């Protein structure tokens, strides 16, 4: 197998069809509802039309939630409100229908797929269809060691690519992307700080579960130390993911890039998916045109990443739970935008004024 080079995606990924987007914009001008009256829904409908290369846009019929799961060794430092090595409990919560994303997905009728890329637990604790893809058990403590070996990094990226191909081949027409991790916001913030050229204090947030001030300081110090290890390998995305990423982040990056190759649109959730998207943008600058940001997570690193990619979040409801829940909340708006763009009637032309009868008369 030849060595993977993420820069190759730059030649493989094309932008959504600009001609179709212009057609969608022109059709919008002809609808009975005045231009601008539907606000952001117009933009979402045009984005989806361009991604589908279809005017009018087609309804979203087979959406899917995809969650990449993993544990991160840096959680040993007390940078998370959750105990290190317990991400499998988050997975169980989704599988048992007891988590926010599971409740929302059940209500929306959207299937959920969980991919164990690097959980730190006995594989027997989880269904085989979840654990069979695992690259390694947990990821390294990024403040002092690499998260992955080069071989594991490539394996994880290829795993994400394979999952994207499976979803596209099965007819999935839109993905809601999230993560199930403990400690995952720390490598995510590190990746974003490294790629945006900023300091640890600027990107350090309190995570989806919330942490106190002492834990925030520990997290900031861990990101600072990890950044020292990240900056020397900024020129190679695979080396960067190996140094300060993790199996779930590398798999998510591969998934995002291959989804763009397959022309499959994606709704991003929080800071972890934003970090992977930013790595993907470094590899292929056209790739972010296939993604939208579902929600504001409250993490400063996410804001930095979305600004860099010029992605404007659909929602800002203060949802910090992660796990894809915020992005799933945005799905009905995207579906509504598609329905409005496809089903609203166009204005009928005004009937022509009858020509005035010619005046005739006797001389």
**Are 6 and 157 a contacting pair, CB within 8 Å?**
yes
Tell me the torsion sign for CA atoms 116, 122, 123, 127: negative
- Residue 83 annotated as catalytic: no
How many C-beta atoms lie closer than 10 Å to residue 192's C-beta? 28
Tokens 């930095």 identify what position?
304
Structure tokens belonging to residue 319: 């949802």
Rounded Cα distance, 287 and 283, in Å:
9
Q: Which residues pair with 178 in a beta bridge?
A: 67
Catalytic hit among 46, 152, 299, 323: 323
**Are 237 and 283 a contacting pair, CB within 8 Å?**
yes
Structure tokens belonging to residue 139: 């990821």
In sequence order, the 6+-apart residues with CB closer than 8 A to the CB of 87 are 69, 70, 71, 119, 120, 121, 180, 181, 182
**Are 195 and 234 a contacting pair, CB within 8 Å?**
yes
Task: Give kind and range of the element (H or E) at residue 327.
Answer: helix 325-343
How many C-beta atoms lie closer than 10 Å to residue 30's C-beta? 13
Our CA angle for 26, 32, 33, nearest 5°, is 90
Runs of H (alpha helix) within 70-184: 87-95, 100-108, 128-131, 150-169
Catalytically active residues, by annotation: 323
């Amino acid at each position: 197998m030849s060595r993977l080079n993420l820069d190759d995606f730059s030649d493989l990924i094309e932008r959504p069809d600009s001609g179709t987007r212009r057609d969608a914009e022109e059709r919008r001008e002809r609808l009975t509802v005045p231009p601008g009256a539907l606000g952001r829904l117009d933009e979402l409908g045009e984005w989806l039309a361009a991604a589908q290369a279809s005017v009018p846009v087609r309804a979203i019929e087979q959406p899917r939630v995809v969650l990449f799961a993993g544990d991160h060794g840096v959680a040993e430092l007390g940078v998370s409100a959750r105990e290190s090595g317990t991400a499998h409990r988050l997975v169980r919560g989704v599988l048992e229908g007891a988590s926010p994303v599971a409740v929302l997905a059940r209500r929306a009728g959207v299937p959920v797929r969980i991919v164990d890329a690097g959980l730190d637990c006995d594989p027997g604790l989880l269904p085989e269809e979840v654990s069979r893809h695992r690259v390694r058990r947990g990821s390294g403590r990024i403040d002092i060691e690499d998260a992955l070996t080069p071989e594991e990094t490539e394996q994880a990226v290829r795993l994400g690519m394979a999952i994207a191909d499976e979803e596209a081949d099965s007819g999935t027409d839109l993905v809601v992307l999230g993560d199930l991790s403990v400690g995952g916001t720390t490598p995510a913030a590190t990746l974003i700080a490294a790629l945006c050229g900023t300091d640890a204090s600027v990107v350090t947030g309190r995570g989806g579960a919330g942490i106190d001030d002492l834990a925030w300081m520990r997290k900031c110090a861990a990101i600072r130390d990890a950044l020292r290890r990240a900056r020397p390998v900024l020129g190679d995305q695979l080396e960067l993911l190996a140094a300060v990423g993790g199996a779930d982040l590398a798999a998510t990056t591969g998934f995002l890039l291959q989804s763009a190759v397959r022309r499959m649109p994606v709704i991003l959730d929080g800071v972890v998916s934003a970090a992977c998207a930013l790595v993907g943008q470094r590899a292929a600058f056209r790739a972010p045109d296939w993604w939208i940001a579902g929600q504001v997570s409250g993490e400063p690193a996410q804001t930095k990443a979305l600004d860099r990619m010029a992605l404007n979040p659909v929602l800002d409801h203060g949802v910090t739970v992660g796990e894809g829940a915020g992005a799933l909340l945005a799905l009905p708006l995207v579906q509504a935008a598609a329905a409005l763009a496809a089903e609203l009637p166009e204005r009928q032309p005004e009937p022509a004024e009858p020509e005035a009868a010619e005046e005739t008369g006797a001389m």
